[in-house]
């Protein structure tokens, strides 16, 4: 087989190892780094500062991108310190916009959200997966809609509002946006331009940390709902925000049609369990035994020790982290249920070790 020293100076073995699709990727990548037949690559066309800790990345994906529905999220893979890391972000643009937008708020301890905010610039490439998620409008759009957004949970709701604008929605919608302060409102000018353009949308900002005259303050509560929503019993509700807000919303809205999307912050998988001692986790494929405390998800505890299994959403949605548990007991952190002791597949991002384990990793 011929080598191509004039294009690629790598060893002959590298060229010989390429499969047909990889060959195509290799040559296409020489033409334009965004071109690929195997991966959805997106070029960063511009970066917009939304607040002091949130940016919108404007992306031009390649031909493998199949589109999305307003409200869905997308896996974004970046290489940080030599390892590929994937996280899910909601798309904040409308499906018919020229470019994709993802709006990313920096999270304390958030590896990827901090990386995207600090390092990504115009011209960079990101790798995307396919869009997915059920946090979308129903086919028959209800006449009365209530949106409850918390912090960066506004991003999929912003996309849904743009969809309502596009279909010339004729009902009534209300957005209660819970955010730390006036300066932390994400996508403010776009939200207000939708509201200005449409007589169907009312927006209320509610500040949890720094009150502002003329605005409500506090967290989601019955009082705040009573104060702002007169038609709660007949509304269809969309909730997107951090876990405490989500839990509160679901308890306040019991019996109503509610769609919700959870935004987990780093570390929220843990359930504050303090344990004495450690348990052994034997990784059968790499023949390693490590000790973990069993206080947090197995994924977090492995990463803490420099072992980085595949992961994506880190909240039990995407199944990227599924691996076979051969023996041992885990707790499923999404519902608190304990597993059987025998063989089964587990999602290590939402599983906590309860006993010694054998994992096919
Ligand atoms: S990383 Fe998505 S389910 Fe675990």
Neighbour order of strands in the sheet with 279-283 = 288-292, 279-283, 357-359, 322-327, 344-347
Q: Which fold has domain 279-359?
A: Ubiquitin-like (UB roll) (3.10.20)
- State residue 1's pLDDT score: 40
Tell me how far the alpha carbon of residue 305 lies from the centroid of ligand 1, in angstroms: 19
Could you give the C-alpha distances from 156 to 72, 187, 205, 303, 339, in angstroms and in order? 7, 11, 17, 29, 33
Q: 94: CA distance to ligand 1 center in Å?
A: 26
Other CB atoms within 10 A of residue 46 CB = 14
Instruction: Indicate if ligand 1 lies below 6 Å from the C-beta of 158.
Output: no
Give span(s): CATH 2.40.30.10, the chain: 19-128
Site to substitute for ligand 1 among 296, 300, 349, most atoms within 8 A of C-beta:
349
329-345 tens-digit pLDDT: 999 887 778 899 999 99
Residue bearing tokens 């390092």: 119
Between CA 191 and CA 201 the distance in angstroms is 10
Q: What is the pLDDT at residue 270?
A: 44
The interaxial angle of helices 154-166 and 188-197, nearest 10 deg, is: 30
Shortest CA distance to 163 belongs to which of 65, 228, 95? 95
Burial class of 262 by CB neighbour count within 10 A (0 to 12, 13 to 18, 19+): buried
- Kindly give the distance from the C-alpha atom of residue 295 to the centroid of ligand 1, in angstroms, as a whole number: 18
Cβ–ligand 1 distance for 313 under 6 Å, the answer yes
pLDDT tens readout for residues 52-108 = 999 999 999 998 999 999 999 998 988 888 777 888 899 999 999 999 999 999 988
Which mutation among 75, 264, 318 tests ligand 1's pocket best, with the greatest number of atoms within 8 A of CB? 318
Intervals of CATH 3.40.50.80 along the chain: 144-263
Distance from the CA of 349 to the center of ligand 1, in angstroms? Answer: 6
CATH number of 144-263: 3.40.50.80
Percent of the chain having pLDDT more than 90? 62
- Ligand 1 pocket member 317 (CB < 6 A): yes
pLDDT tier at 37 (50, 70, 90 boundaries)?
Answer: low
Encode pLDDT of 152-196 as tens digits.
999 999 999 999 999 999 999 999 999 999 999 999 999 999 999
The string of pLDDT tens digits covering residues 306-321 is 898 888 777 777 788 9
Please give the average per-residue pLDDT across 18-25, as a whole number. 66
The per-residue pLDDT for 5 is: 41
Which of the four CATH numbers 2.40.30.10, 3.40.50.150, 2.60.120.10, 2.60.40.10 does domain 19-128 have? 2.40.30.10
Q: What is the pLDDT of residue 14?
A: 62
Mean pLDDT (whole number) for 255-282:
70
Per-residue pLDDT at 202 exceeds 50 = yes
Of 316 and 47, the structure prediction assigns the larger pLDDT to: 47
């Amino acid at each position: 087989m011929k080598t191509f020293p004039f294009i690629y100076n790598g060893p002959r073995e590298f060229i010989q190892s390429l499969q047909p699709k990889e060959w195509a990727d290799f040559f296409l990548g020489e033409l334009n780094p965004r071109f690929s037949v195997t991966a959805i690559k997106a070029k960063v066309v511009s970066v917009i500062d939304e607040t002091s800790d949130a940016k919108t990345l404007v992306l031009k994906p390649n031909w493998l991108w199949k589109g999305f529905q307003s409200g869905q999220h997308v896996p974004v893979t970046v290489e940080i310190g030599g390892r590929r890391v994937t996280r899910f972000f909601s798309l904040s643009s409308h499906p018919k916009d020229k470019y994709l937008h993802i709006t990313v708020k920096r999270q304390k301890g958030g590896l990827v959200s901090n990386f995207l905010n600090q390092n990504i610039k115009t011209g960079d490439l990101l790798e995307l997966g396919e869009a997915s998620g059920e946090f979308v409008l129903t086919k028959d759009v209800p006449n009365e809609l209530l949106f409850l957004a918390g912090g960066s949970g506004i991003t999929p709701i912003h996309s849904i509002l743009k969809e309502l604008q596009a279909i010339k929605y004729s009902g009534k919608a209300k957005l209660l946006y819970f955010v730390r302060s006036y300066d932390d409102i994400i996508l403010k000018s776009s939200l207000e331009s939708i509201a200005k353009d449409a007589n169907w949308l009312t927006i209320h900002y509610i500040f949890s940390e720094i009150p502002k005259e003329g605005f409500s303050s506090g967290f989601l509560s019955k009082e705040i709902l009573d104060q702002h929503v007169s038609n709660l019993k007949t509304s269809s509700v969309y909730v997107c925000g951090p876990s405490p807000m989500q839990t509160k919303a679901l308890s306040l809205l019991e019996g109503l049609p509610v769609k919700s999307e959870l935004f987990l912050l780093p570390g929220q998988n843990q359930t504050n369990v303090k344990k004495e001692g450690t348990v052994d986790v034997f990784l059968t494929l790499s023949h390693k035994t490590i000790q973990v405390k069993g206080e947090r998800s197995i994924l977090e505890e492995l990463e803490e020790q420099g072992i980085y299994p595949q992961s994506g959403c880190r909240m039990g949605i995407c199944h990227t982290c599924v691996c076979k548990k051969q023996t041992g007991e885990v707790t499923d952190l999404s519902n608190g249920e304990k597993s059987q002791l025998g063989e089964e597949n587990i999602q290590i991002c939402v599983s906590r070790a309860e006993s010694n384990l054998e994992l096919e990793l």
